[in-house]
Every structure is written in C-alpha cells, then in structure tokens.
Amino acid sequence: MFQNNPILMQLKNQLQKKTLQVEGIVKSTSKGFGFLKVDSQTTYFIPPKNMKKVIHGDRIIGSVQKINNKEIVFPKKLIKPFLKRFIGSVHKHNNSIYIQPRYPYIRDITFHKYKTTIKRSWKNGDWVTAELCQHILNNNHNCFCIKILKFISEKKNPLLPWHVILSKYNLEKKSPKVDFLNFFPQNISNNDRLDLTNLDFITIDNNYTKDIDDAIYVEETNTNHLILTVAIADPTEYILVNTEIDNIAKQRVFTNYLPGLNISMLPKKFSENLCSLQPHVKRPVLACKIVIDSNGKIEMKQTNFFLAWIKSQSKLSYDDVSDWLEKSGKWKPKNKRIEKQILLLNKVYIVRNSWRKKYALLFKNYPEYTFHLSKKWEILDISIDRKRIANKMIEESMISANICAADFLDKKLGFGLYHAHSGFNDFNIKNVVKFLKTYNILYTSEELMTISGFCKLKRSLDILSDEYVNYRIYRFQSFGEICTVPKPHFSLGLSSYATWTSPIRKYSDMINHRLIKSVIKGCKNISPPDSTLISHIVERKRKTRMAVRKIEEWLYTNFFHSINYNNQNYYAYIVDIFGSGINARLLKNGAFIFIPLKYIHNIRNEVICKPEYGVVYIKNKIHYKISDNILVHLLYINNITKKIIATLVK
C-alpha cells in the first residue's frame, strides 16, 4: 500500500542525497569497533558489525549515517587493501580450517575461504604464508578469500619463532649451500702475494667463532712507533663477480646473527673453512700496514694495502685474553711470541683509544644481552655482556683499518662504500641550540654543524653525564647513511669511514675489498657501486634489525612463561615514552616491557605522556622521563603481540 507512495519516495531520495560519502583509513581497536580516519582532525565511528567487512589499514569509501545522534560509517568500496601477503597460524574448528593473521591490529579476523596448491593435512598451530585474493568489499560471497602460498612450520617445531619471524621479513632460514668441487686454494697465484707466513699473526674471537675474518700482527720500532698489520680474509679470490655464490651473497648482504642462531651470508664451507683464518693454515688475505706514532696518530702517508699469505699462529678467545691482561683466571699464552703480540696489541689499543678520545669520538659501551639455549632450543639463561679489554683491542684495530680504507679509496678512486653521519640537519639545529641553552650548554648553530663542534658537544655531554640530555640530543640527530662518495661520520668524529674488515660476513665489505684490490692490481675503468645495490643493503639491514628484535620478543615471552615471574619485582630503565604509556627495559635480562597509562597513575585525566619531550606529567609535574630507573611488576604477557605488560611499583 505504501510501496509506491510518492511522498515516501521523495523522502527516501532526500535522505539518500544527505548520506555523506567519505574516504579514509580504517583503524581498529582491541574492543572490536574501529574508526575511519579521514584526515588528522576527522574520524568516524565503525561499529563491530561493520568492522567485519574491513581490515585495519584498508583505505575505503564509506557512507556516513546518523543513527541515534551518532555518525556511523558503513563500508561501501575498497580503494586499497592493507593486507596483502601475510603470516598466519592454522586453527581447526568443527572440521573447518581458519587462518589467523599474525598482526596486532588484526585480532578478530580469521580466513576460512582459501585455496592452495600445497598438499598437506593441516594441523592445528601450523604456520603459513598466505595472500589476500579477494576482499569482502569486492566480492559477493560476504567473506575474505585467501591463498596459502607456503608452509612455514609446525607448532611443535622448536625453531618456530625463528622460522615465523624470518618468513615475515622474507629472510633466509638457512645458510646457503652450493657445489664446492670447483674451489681449491691452489688455484690462487703466488706471484702477486707477499709471503708473511713466518710472522706471528694471531686471531682473537669468541670461543665458538668459526668464520674468522681478521688476524693481527704488531711490531714496535726504535722510535716508539707501532706498526699494526691487519690481515683480512679474502673471499674475493675465490668468488668472482656475478657468479652463483656472489649473487647469493649480494642477495643476503649480511651474515644474520640471531639469538642462538647464525645464518651465514656465504656457504659455510667458504666462511668457516676455505676463507676462515684458522690457526696454522696458510690463507690468502688483503692486508693493511698501519704506522701509529707515540701519540696514537696514524701516519696516513705510510699506510700500505697489499695482498699476502699468512698463517695464524694461535686462535685466542676474548675472555682468555681479557682474563690474562686483567691478571685473573688460569689461562696464559702458550709462548713468549704470542704473549708479545697480545701486549703490543694492547699498546695499540691504549694509544689509539686515547687519540680518538681527544680528537674524535668513542663508542658507548652499552650492555648486550645473550640468550643461552639448550640443544633442544630451550632458554637456559640470559646473560649481561659488556665489551672487555680484548674486544676493545680488536675493535680499535678494525676502526683504524677502516679509517685507512676510507682514506685509500678517497685518494685512489674518489668512491667506494662509505658509512656517513651528518650530525644535525638544518631543520633541527635551532632546536638543539635552544634545548642545550636550558642546561647552560652554549653552542652556536654554525659550530655544531662542524665535526669539531659536534665532537666538542659530545665530550661536554659525557662530562655532564645526564642520559636524558643525551637521549634528547640523539633524537635531534640525523640518521646514518651508506654512500658512494666520502662524507663525514659525525658520530665517530671522522672525516670519512669505509668498512672492509668483514668480507665473509658483509657484502658491502666485499665490495670495498674488490675496489681496493682493483687499485692494487692496476685495473682500469673501475666502476663505483650502483645506487640500487645501496638501497638493497639498507633495506636488508632494516629487515634484519627488525627480525632480531621480534625474535627476542618471542623468546622473552617463552622465558617468562617458563618461570614464576609474578613473584618478584624488576628494576628497569625507561627507553621511550609513547602517548599511551612507558616503554622500559629490564636491567636483569634486557626484556622490553610496556606500562600503559592506567598502570602509571590511577586517575586517567591527571597523567599526560609527551613523547616529543620524553617525559610523563602527573598533575602537571614531571614524574618520569627517559633514562629514569624504575621498579616494575610484570602483570601479564600478550601471546599474540608478544608484549609484556607491567605496572609501576611505587
């Protein structure tokens, strides 16, 4: 009777005209509802029922309708999906298979309409790689459709955390393997290499290190000058450009050092055997002879790069050498020649470290945390490790060698792969000067834009010894970069810096090896590295860093599940402030924890977090800031996000 009523039809048309069409990004919440963010100031509510048609991060067009005086979005059209390829776990329910994506903001969506070419009887807890084939807004089946691309791991696999995270970042799960039959040391010509096998070269590494890439020999002159010869394993003698192994290394870029697991860049028969500077075995090297005066300054004009043969006389460990120098423990060098090399190397460290402290900058000796795992990949312990004297001796030698490489490449070619850091940019420098002034630290913008001024600032901050000030200055700094032309490295206080001392672990170092060798051999028309390769190196470095962090998070949650963490409190230091709470790190084992606002102060409107300043206000007074030590109690672990939630103990 009302079907063709002209008044009702007119009213319906008027309502449709008033329906607002908006485009924005979907933001989900842990409570099932969400929002459509149109711009920085405009958002619309999406109720739980409508959220089932979209995924967090989707760009959509929706219609806004006013219901009970509340503007609600009804998703209508997909512009760009957020979820494409993803990692997920299999869940079986009522003889049906569902895939749960491993993303913190995609908690309430499971996919059951799928296709795959994998022939497998799926088990509960299996992990897979999948991709979204059809979005619910783009089909008539009222569901999301996916394709399972790859099986990753079973739930019971002890290497599950490693395999899942590496798959997420598209990183390799195993060291490469290639045909090794065509590679033999005798293929190398002796004509262009100096024979230094009679010299007392030594190596110092961890006890478990097999891919030994550097050896050291030191001698002292009558004028108190030290002559440091750094010999670096030379994989480029076997691995030619664009061969199978070279392309593998170029793709992988790094040996991936993960908690409890190392995945090498090169096949292990190369990195741990043929190229490794094992004791008492003749090996080809690229060497650099460095003359250091009594004040620790490198005599650059006397630096010499050359090809050589060496034979390491002893494989020493950091802990043994450190114990001996610190006069503790039972270990001692096996003969006077090795003892002499250790003592001379310590001299190199002392004078070079003193020079860098005065004329450049030193690394901060932050603690590192090491997971100790059983043969069954169970966490036995987490130890705190700091660099000891032997570690610093080798590090100082490698830094000296890298300084020489940068100088060599700059003078001989004008290009290479350089690590650079520009300090502060033009945008932040005024804020730096203004912030320092509040602490009565007075610098001009022009002064801080020079290496000498930057170094002077860093030394004055070391004297001030305020970690909060250091953090704020650090946040103002530019990011480091890799470039093909020499640029200053402000954070090291150096005019240029190019690494070449780990060619069996880093492809960028292998590139610099080839460039240095090309000059030594008198090659013509040497080409600089291309920008595409640099982008690939940077991206792989980012993915590797993220993978390490995510694996650590997973292992920490496993560790705390294995102990009764509710019975004790932990000391921590604040590492970051977010709008939603405090991020801190436990001093005892290095685990990152999160303290939401409600566990900072019980009256919500009295607490304000200011990430840009790294502080937390309570009742308009600063109560917490980055670098503060705090006492916390662990509340619970979110097994999906692998986040450890804690509360402050007051």
- Domain residue extents for the chain: 15-80, 85-156, 190-419+496-548, 422-478, 564-648
Catalytic residue check, 466:
no
Q: Which residues of the chain have pLDDT under 50?
A: 1, 16-17, 184-186
Catalytic residue chosen out of the listed positions 103, 318, 349, 418: 318
Catalytic residue chosen out of the listed positions 211, 234, 323, 509: 211
Same fold, 15-80 and 85-156: yes
- Max CA separation in the chain (angstroms): 115
Give the pLDDT of residue 564.
83
SS3 601: coil
DSSP structure class, residue 635:
E
> Which of 463, 466, 476, 467 is CA-nearest to residue 435?
476
Question: Distance between CA atoms of 45 and 34, rounded to whole angstroms?
Answer: 6
**Which residues contact residue 171 at a Cβ distance below 8 angstroms, ignoring those fewer than 6 apart?**
256, 263, 543, 544, 547
User: pLDDT (tens digit, 9 = 90+) per residue, 71-129?
Assistant: 999 999 999 999 889 999 998 888 788 888 887 667 667 788 788 899 988 899 999 99
Q: What is the CATH number of domain 85-156?
A: 2.40.50.640
Give the pLDDT of residue 5.
66
Instruction: Indicate the CATH number of 15-80 among 2.40.50.140, 1.10.600.10, 1.10.357.10, 1.20.1050.10.
Output: 2.40.50.140
Catalytic residue chosen out of the listed positions 205, 320, 509, 628: 205
The CATH architecture one would assign to domain 564-648 is Beta Barrel (2.40)
Catalytic residue check, 214:
yes
Phi and psi at 596, nearest 5°, equal -65, 160
Give the pLDDT of residue 185.
46
Catalytic residue chosen out of the listed positions 58, 200, 214, 246: 214
Do residues 469 and 211 touch, judged by C-beta distance below 8 A?
no
> Element (H or E) spanning 333, and its range?
none
Do residues 36 and 22 touch, judged by C-beta distance below 8 A?
yes
* 469-504 CB burial, b ≥16 within 10 A, e <16: bbbbbebbbeeeebbbebbbbbbbbbebbbbbbbbb
Question: Distance between CA atoms of 439 and 605, rounded to whole angstroms?
Answer: 30
Catalytic residue check, 318:
yes
Q: Which ranges of 151-255 would DSSP assign to H, the alpha helix?
A: 160-168, 244-252
Question: Distance between CA atoms of 289 and 263, rounded to whole angstroms?
Answer: 32
Q: Which long-range contacts (CB under 8 A, 24 or more apart) does 14-23 make?
A: 19/63, 19/64, 19/65, 20/63, 20/64, 21/61, 21/62, 21/63, 21/64, 21/76, 22/61, 22/62, 22/63, 22/64, 22/73, 23/59, 23/60, 23/61, 23/62, 23/79
Q: Which two tokens stand for residue 540?
A: 């792989």
Catalytic residue chosen out of the listed positions 252, 472, 505, 540: 505
